[in-house]
Structure 1
Amino acid sequence: MNNHTLQQMTLENIARACGGTYVGEDTLRGSEITGAVIDSRQVEPGYLYIPIRGERVDGHRFIPDVFEKGALAVLSEEPLENPAGPYILVASSEQALKDIAEFYRSTLAIKIIGITGSVGKTSTKEMISAVLEQKYNVLKTEGNFNNEIGLPLTILRIRREHEAAVVEMGISEFGEMHRIAKVAKPDICVMTNIGQCHLENLIDRDGVLRAKSEIFDFLKPDGHIVLNGNDDKLITVSEAHGVKPIFYHVEDGTAPAADITYEVTADEIENKGLRGLNAVLHFPEEDCQIHEPIPGVHNVYNACAAACVGRIMGLTNEEICEGISHAKTIAGRTNLITVGELLVIDDCYNANPVSMKASLDVLAQADGRKIAVLGDMGELGENECEMHYEVGKYAANQGVDVLFCCGTLSEELAKGAQRGHTQVMYFKTLDKMMLALVPYLRNGDNVLVKASHFMEFSKVVEAICKAWEE
């Protein structure tokens, strides 16, 4: 057996797992795949290629190419004429992907930590991974691979050397979390908060809680639940399928709940601005001083969540605090980029009212001119205009010197910011905004770039960096 193959992932087992029909040489039925992808450009020898029908491109058209690259087999929603290798005929490639990943998960002894919540999933994932890496070989979600396609692909990236996996689990509608939890079957469920995300489908925060609580549907009987004890909705969760949650709490001026015992608490928070923060973590046995290199007081919550997971996974308090000190940001998530004498806060991966305000809090700590480049926030439901207006108001109150914004809803954001001393520049399109923004910047400026992913504000970061590197 090839050491690089996925154990028990033979073509015969894969076909059985997804209810497909194997078509090809019988001698290959027992062959194990070496990986599985939906992007034909990522195919390597021995891989299973899973073609997805998208709005613009049908992955089936690349089937001949992947066989040339050495793919062991492919899935297909239609019979293939003279294929260059075996294939598995399925009704739906997307459903088959989930079924295959679910089967693969059943063969693994690895502990999986599933993270959900309205805000902070990615930064919490990074923090938990940094802590667990003090003791384990950890696989973690890459990019935005946290939905019904991304989560199964993340599971299929787990290899024999991995000892723990930290996976994001994002949703936008009821039932979706149930479907991805069925694939991941997490050993530890972490919920960061219940906010105002995807309200067009989930209606209100109670709906968000119900939808995200579907993560508990496939929690293992000996599993663990880690919840933010500062969140008024999460503290109402007393148990799920017989598992009692572990809570953490951050001193933020509100009193801890009297009827909850906290595994980890944090206080004495010292904000060091863009250099991160210091705090004291209180464990049942001792107190530990921590330094967190990521800016933003909200990241203390991520540290507490990571500390709870670390304790469940058998790390010492010293290892936990050391891991926290090594946490890093990733592109698009409060990622600090210094270009020349300009500081860019790249936070353009996604946005909602809570994360917008948290990013503005980070910008407010900077020395020099504070420039916010903001765009539309998606999926906020019927109160979306009011929410954009409130963020604009918040930007002005936080002392933002100049606000650049574009997008249909951001016209409300601009209106909210037209108060105090904030200079507001509103544009209908991204291109027009960038033409005005780049030459406007000067040495010593601090620039926050943030909007929902569909606004493509990564182009703004690229344009600024390109201009200032020249």
Structure 2
Amino acid sequence: MNIVELYELYKQYPSVQTDTRKLKQGDIFFALRGPNFNANAFAETALANGAVYAVIDDATYNTHANMILVDDVLSTLQQLALFHRNQFNIPFLAITGSNGKTTTKELIHAVLNTTYTTYTTEGNLNNHIGVPLTILKIRSDAQMAVIEMGANHRGEIASYCVYARPDHGLITNVGKAHLEGFGGYEGVRKGKGELFDHLRSCKGTVFVMNDYDYLKEMSAGIENRFTYGTHDADVTGSIVESEPFLSVAFEDFTISTQLVGAYNLPNVLAAVAVGTYFNVPAETIKKAIEGYTT
């Protein structure tokens, strides 16, 4: 079965699952493998528990008419996600970085979803499995998509960009997380920078925290840049207070968040910047961020 045929089945049954414990009636089960597990062995159980089809890559388990045998289940899942992504002509915003990805993603989703039907990553499902699953949860009414991308070695972000095809992107920061996998700080910078490399090549738009010189350097050569920070940026804000909760003053309004600590300032600035760029009214941005709780 090729991807076009599989996509026709997916359109009939647009719910994909990789965990038999979370199966719902009508799901398509993808039997993934790992170093210590082989979900092909659970394909029959998945069908018995309500899955309409099970996608497998081990012929030993091809024992039912509703088994779909492919060369590689993970690759097929990612190809299906790409095929689905290609059906949309809407902004896809990718977010990566060493810290603050999930909070920034949730704040941006809260802001955009006030004005646009916005789909986003659930929790921190931001890896080579979570990203395609996120894409496959996007429905036809989508007006925006916000995709979180995590990585612990170089090449990962670039691979996610192949099937997520983001046309907008944001790197929260570059820190010292996963140094071993990246081979040092410079490796982290290059790995996270793969998002900007993709956006540079496709003439996309980047949101840049202008307080961080390294992000300005990493985004050099990208024509479409929208900046945020505490000074000299398209959107600027400063801390009013940070204890017990963070309040941030902007030019025309102040946002009193339910977030603790000054370290959340860049996350709030990012959400205001993205909302502003996509023409969400200032008062709506304020209410969305003030209403957000972790």
TM-score (norm 2): 0.90
Note if contact 1:239-1:245 (Cα within 8 Å) is conserved in structure 2: no
Aligned partner of 2:283 in structure 1 is: 318
Q: What is the rounded CA distance, in whole Å, between the counterparts of 2:115 and 2:237 in structure 1?
A: 23
Corresponding residue for 2:261?
296
- Map 1:242-321 → 2, pairs under 5 A: 242-250=222-230, 261-273=232-244, 276-282=245-251, 287-321=252-286
CA contact (8 A) 1:277 1:295 kept: yes
Residue of structure 2 equivalent to 1:137: 117
Task: Give 2:204's aligned residue.
Answer: 223
1:341 paired residue number:
none
How far residue 290 of structure 1 moved from its aligned partner, in angstroms, is: 1.2
Structure 2 residue corresponding to 1:104, chosen from 62, 69, 84? 84
Larger radius of gyration: 1
Report the alpha carbon displacement of residue 308 of structure 1 after superposing the two structures with TM: 1.3
Distance 1:127 1:145 in 2: 16
Q: CA-to-partner distance for each residue in 1:120-178, whole Å, 9 max, x for gaps?
A: 00111111111112212322212231011111111111123433222210001111111
Name the SS for the 2:275 alignment partner.
helix
Q: CA separation in 2, counterparts of 1:265 and 1:58? A: 50
1:26-425 alignment, distance < 5 Å: 32-80=12-60, 83-219=63-199, 221=202, 223-239=204-220, 242-250=222-230, 261-273=232-244, 276-282=245-251, 287-329=252-294
1:29/1:293 CA distance change after superposition, 3 Å: closer
Contact residue 237 and residue 245 of structure 1 kept, 8 A = no
Q: 2-side partners of 1:204 and 1:52: how far apart?
A: 31
Deviations 1:340-397, CA, capped at 9 Å, x for gaps: xxxxxxxxxxxxxxxxxxxxxxxxxxxxxxxxxxxxxxxxxxxxxxxxxxxxxxxxxx
The one-letter code of the counterpart of 2:205 is H
Q: Is the CA contact (8 Å cut-off) linking 1:72 and 1:85 kept in structure 2? A: no
Matched AA of 1:246 = F
- Bigger drift between 36-45 and 186-195 goes to 36-45
Amino acid at match of 2:3: N
How does the TM-score come out when normalised to structure 1?
Answer: 0.58
Q: Cα offset for 1:77?
A: 1.2
Q: What residue identity is the alignment partner of 1:13?
A: I
Residue aligning to 1:21: none
| Paired residues of 1:228 and 1:248 also in contact (CA < 8 A) | yes
- The answer to whether the Cα contact below 8 Å between 1:277 and 1:294 also exists between their aligned partners in 2 is yes
Q: 1:82 to 1:57 in 2, by over 3 A?
A: closer
Instruction: Return the letter of the residue paired with 2:257.
Output: E
Q: Which runs of 5 or more structure 2 residues have no equivalent in the other structure?
A: none
SS in 2 for 1:233: helix
Post-superposition offset of 1:16: 7.1
Identify unmatched segments of 5+ residues in structure 1: 1-10, 18-27, 251-255, 330-470
Given the superposition, is the C-alpha separation of residues 77 and 215 from structure 1 closer, same or farther in structure 2, using an over 3 Å criterion?
Answer: same
In structure 2, relative to structure 1, the CA distance for the partners of 1:217 and 1:235 (3 Å cut) is closer
Separation in 1, partners of 2:128, 2:10: 28
Matched to 1:39, the amino acid is D
| More deviation, 29-38/93-102 | 29-38
Deviating beyond 6 angstroms after TM superposition, the runs of 4 or more aligned structure 1 residues are: 28-31
Distance 1:268 1:280 in 2: 6
Q: Secondary structure at the match of 2:123?
A: coil
Distance 1:288-1:101 versus aligned 2 partners, 3 A rule: same
For residues 66 and 227 of structure 2, the distance between their equivalents in structure 1, rounded to whole angstroms, comes to 50
Equivalent residue pairs, number? 293
**Which letter maps to 1:121?**
K
CA distance in 2: counterparts of 1:195 and 1:31, whole angstroms: 41
Q: Who is 1:13 aligned against?
A: 3
- TM-aligned CA distance change 1:82 to 1:278, over 3 Å: closer
Following superposition, the deviation at residue 94 of structure 1 comes to: 1.7
CA contact under 8 A between 2:14 and 2:27: conserved in structure 1?
yes
Query: 1:281, 1:295 → 2: CA distance?
Result: 18
Query: Contact 1:130–1:327 (CA<8 Å) still a contact in 2?
Result: yes
1:228 counterpart letter in structure 2: M
Identity across matched positions, percent:
31
